[in-house]
Amino acid sequence: MPTRYEPAIDLDAVEAIDVHTHVEADACGHHSLDTELMDASASYFKSTDLRTPTVDQIAEHYRARSMAAVVFTVDAATATGHPALSSEEIAEAAARNNDVLLPFGSVDPLQGATAVDRARRLVEDHGVLGIKLHPSLQGFAPDDTAHYPLYEALQELGAVVLFHTGQTGIGAGLPGGRGIRLRLSDPMRIDDVAAAFPELRIIMAHPSVPWADEAIAIATHKANVSIDLSGWLPRYFPPALVRAAGRYLKRKVLFGSDFPLITPDRWRDSFAELGIGDEARRLIMKDNAARLLGLDGGE
């Protein structure tokens, strides 16, 4: 039997919880994307550091900063033809770093019932806290009812679903964007899912540009939907998102970096420029994630 992950995060010892960090390589040197897509993403983010840290290296990075981090990969094997990293191995690695890491799994929605069964195993046998989905990269429409059995299972299991929304650096600048369709990540598609599964905890990843207003409206309207602030340096956030995060959505937005393409240090330095008040800052950086992920004991 695999070692089942159990969190051991000391909330008094960590200053922040980053809910959006990518595992891009495993211990054997296999990568989550092919070289062309990885290079396009690095160019989009203007990242000169192309290292792809393993789960253990990610743990060291966050432990040194007194932070915790949600770690995951994306299983887009059907759409890209590139074999995915193992979510099971990521969960195992997180289990030996459970003082700072929180594992999410990923399944390929295009695999239908197989994806549903795997999601159940990842949650029940491996202890992952949620599932990461990337509609554009995985090539699926999240509001297609064909995928409702997956959401039904995750709602039943009490798992979080983290959906990529908006623009993506993956495929950016390549001919035809390598066939990756941005419209699949329109957050209004997530609104349909949130309405159909009201007990399913959903995180919409990123500021959802060019649909930031739509994402704000959904998070305001749907009690089960939150927004993570990853993938953009905060100085570039749409003004409406900054206002919402600091005021009426301060309990519905979460710190996320998009590590390794954006480091938590770089993100936090930029966030400090926004002038968001102390209460909202504390909620965004740690408390909202602790509550959503069940780390606070229901406080």
* 106 is a domain residue: yes
Structure tokens at 198: 């009201």
Could you list the residue range(s) of the whole structural domain that residue 159 is in?
A: 16-292
Average pLDDT score over residue span 231-257:
97
* Site of tokens 């003082």: 99
Is 252 within 8 Å of 223 (Cβ atoms)?
A: no
What is the rounded average pLDDT of the residues 209-217? 98
Contact 99, 69 (CB under 8 A): no
pLDDT classification of 251: cutoffs 50, 70, 90: very high
Residue by residue, what is the 3-state secondary structure of 19-36?
A: EEEECCECCCCCECCCHH
Asked if residue 87 lies in contact with residue 75, where contact means CB atoms within 8 angstroms, the answer is yes
Angle between helices 148-157 and 188-196 (to 10 degrees): 60
Residue 24 lies in a domain: yes
**3-class state of residue 242 by DSSP:** helix
DSSP 272: G
Q: How confident is the model at residue 173 (pLDDT cuts 50, 70, 90)?
A: confident
Which amino acid is it at 198? P
**Residue 151 within any structural domain of the chain:** yes
Secondary structure E strands in the chain: 16-22, 67-72, 101-105, 130-133, 160-164, 201-205, 225-228, 253-254
pLDDT at 44 over 80: no
- Top pLDDT among 207 and 50 is at 207
Overall average pLDDT of the 11-39 stretch: 83
Structure confidence at residue 24 as a pLDDT band (50, 70, 90): confident
Identify the weakest region by mean pLDDT among 34-38, 209-213, 227-231.
Answer: 34-38
- Give pLDDT, residue 171: 82
**pLDDT tens digit sequence for 77-123:** 999 998 999 999 999 999 999 999 999 999 999 999 999 999 999 99
In a domain, 8, yes or no: no
Contact 206, 228 (CB under 8 A): yes
Judged by average pLDDT, the poorest of 40-54, 166-180, 283-297 is 40-54
Per-residue tokens: 211: 């649909």
pTM (2 d.p.):
0.94
pLDDT at 130 over 90: yes
The mean-pLDDT minimum among 1-10, 45-54, 61-70, 80-89 falls in: 45-54
Question: How many degrees, rounded to 5, is the angle at CA 206 between CA 204 and CA 208?
Answer: 80
pLDDT of residue 259: 96
Total domain count for the chain?
1
Query: How far, CA to CA in Å, does 218 sit from each of 161, 188, 221, 226?
Result: 15, 8, 5, 9
Mean pLDDT over each residue of the chain, to the nearest integer:
93
Residue 239's CATH number: 3.20.20.140
Average pLDDT over residues 64-72: 98
Structural domain includes residue 82 = yes
The answer to the question of residue 2 being in a domain is no
Does residue 262 form part of some domain? yes
Tell whether 211 is covered by a domain: yes
